[in-house]
Amino acid sequence: MLILSNYIGGTLQSPVNGRYIDNYEPSTGSVYGKIPDSDEHDVNLAVAAAKAAFPAWAAMDPASRSRQIHRIAEGINNRFEELAAAESRDSGKPVGLARRMDITRARDNFEFFAAAALQFASESHNQPGFINYTLRQPIGVVGCISPWNLPLYLFTWKIAPALAAGNCVVAKPSEVTPVTAHMLAEICMEVGLPAGVLNIVHGAGPQCGASIVKHPEIKGVSFTGSTRAGREIASVAAPMFKKLSLELGGKNPVIIFADSDYEEMLNTTVRSSFTNQGQICLCGSRIYVERPLYNRFRSDFVSRVQQLKVGDPAAADTNIGAVVSETHYNKILSYIALAKEEGGTILCGGEAVKMEGEQAGGWYIAPTVIDGLSPQCRTNQEEIFGPVVSIQPFDTEEEAVTLANNTDYGLAAVIWTNHLSRAHRLGDRLASGIVWINCWLERDLRTPFGGVKNSGVGREGGWEALRFFTEAKNICVKI
Ligand code: NAD
């Protein structure tokens, strides 16, 4: 049994209340670890440790701070395979994906922001007789709270810029997928990160997470997770005037025109629908296809999806692993049942997959394609966050834009067309923080990342992240 600890003030610690939460292995449905069920007592200790570490960390010259952050990236690289195996086991995702995407990106997040710490600069504005210069100073102690779908990837996407900007951090990973965060703590100890600079507290959202959000010494909170939790967090943090970055849910449209490069579009649309069992906030879940292409696309898409292999996340040939928890499994299956009630036709999948042997108790769902649903129905409006997509034809560009913009979310959108001006026109008109044209999930870490409407407030990535994790102070000098 794997027993995890909090990482506070540079040491591994048990939760003050002595309580633990069960940690499940999605591929078998069985408990394989215990994680601290921390509460405000642990958060208070973590904040005190971060506060004590802050003056030295903030005052450190950027080159030394950059080296410290770079060492964490090296530490991740040294334990790369172990981390990929742990991420796969903890979340149910195929181990190849954990390698290619999660752990690679976790390492790259630290490398990227180690370099950014050396490059970050601020502005100066001259006027006759006066010169203004802007200082961008670290906020102090900040809170970073992340979800289960890309555990170490998203956890480090917050921690790395927060540290690079000179803050000390109290971070909480999802209680559903805590293991690689625990390993990150071990890595920070191995590479000699100064005590208290990063503190990792494990536990449930309403206790541990909420204690971070409401702690008066935590001046900024960066959160990625559900729109529901984001709303709760905003209601606590906003009246305290904390800096807040919220990366929330999505219901992303994919718009396919008949003139797109067919094979590339088809292959990528299978990926954009089902990578990580559809549990990526950027996955396309509403696919709109220009009518002349609709029948051909439907038949080819369904046949490709049926070839995806659902299986043991540890096996090299698995395309679709287990979904992350029993609660989430039941939620996804209930949306498939709802889609049928709402008049949808299940073209493939639509049911749980029962494995044999060790995996018999795991949470597997066949990749599911549905058509015949109305744009307004709940299946097409609410985030499912699983291996389920709907497809629907459209006739005009105008209709495609209306359909795409017809939800409360606005995180990411994909457009497939070779018509140059149409591609740019649509890119401009989609209510979305991110638009990919003829590609998907291409990520340049310098670009602004985030959503509009109920998908969030604020942007991560590159300078946006470093600006979020600093306060701008303008100094005006008479000359
Ligand atoms: P969640 O909101 O349930 O939990 C996310 C994190 O917040 C967890 O660490 C949880 O413990 C914590 N938390 C929950 N309630 C809290 C509260 N009241 N106060 C403080 N912390 C709290 O989300 P989830 O189920 O872990 O993740 C799935 C969701 O995340 C989906 O909606 C998905 O779209 C979204 N997501 C968004 C992005 C993005 O970049 N926009 C990226 C990945 C996932």
Q: Is 281 marked active-site?
A: yes
Catalytic site includes residue 283? no
What distance lies between CA 102 and its chain's CA centroid? Answer: 10
Cβ 213 under 6 angstroms from ligand 1: yes
- Res 297: pLDDT: 99
Domain 2-248+455-478 sits in CATH at 3.40.605.10
Token pair listed for 84 = 């990929």
Q: What is the domain partition of the chain in residue ranges?
A: 2-248+455-478, 252-444
Q: Which fold has domain 252-444?
A: Aldehyde Dehydrogenase; Chain A, domain 2 (3.40.309)
Q: Could you tell me the sign of the dihedral formed by the alpha carbons of 88, 94, 95, 101, in that order?
A: negative
Question: pLDDT digits over 392-406, tens only?
Answer: 999 999 999 999 999
Which residue type does 38 have? Answer: S
174 close to ligand 1 (CB < 6 Angstrom): yes
> Is any atom of ligand 1 closer than 6 Å to the C-beta of 210?
yes
| Ligand 1 lined by 411 (C-beta under 6 Å) | yes
223-243 residue pLDDT tens: 999 999 999 999 999 999 999
Ligand 1 centroid to 357 CA: how many Å? 32
2-248+455-478 and 252-444 share one fold: no
Report field, pTM of the whole predicted structure over 0.95: yes
- The preferred substitution site among 201, 228, 236, 281 for testing ligand 1, maximizing ligand atoms within 8 Å of CB, is 281
Chain segment 120-169, per-residue pLDDT in tens: 999 999 999 999 999 999 999 999 999 999 999 999 999 999 999 999 99
Residues in a beta bridge with 221 = 143, 244
Which of 40, 142, 174, 211 for a ligand 1 pocket mutation test, highest count of atoms within 8 Å of Cβ? 174
Choosing from 25, 87, 247, 342, the catalytic residue is 247
**Mean pLDDT within 375-383:** 98
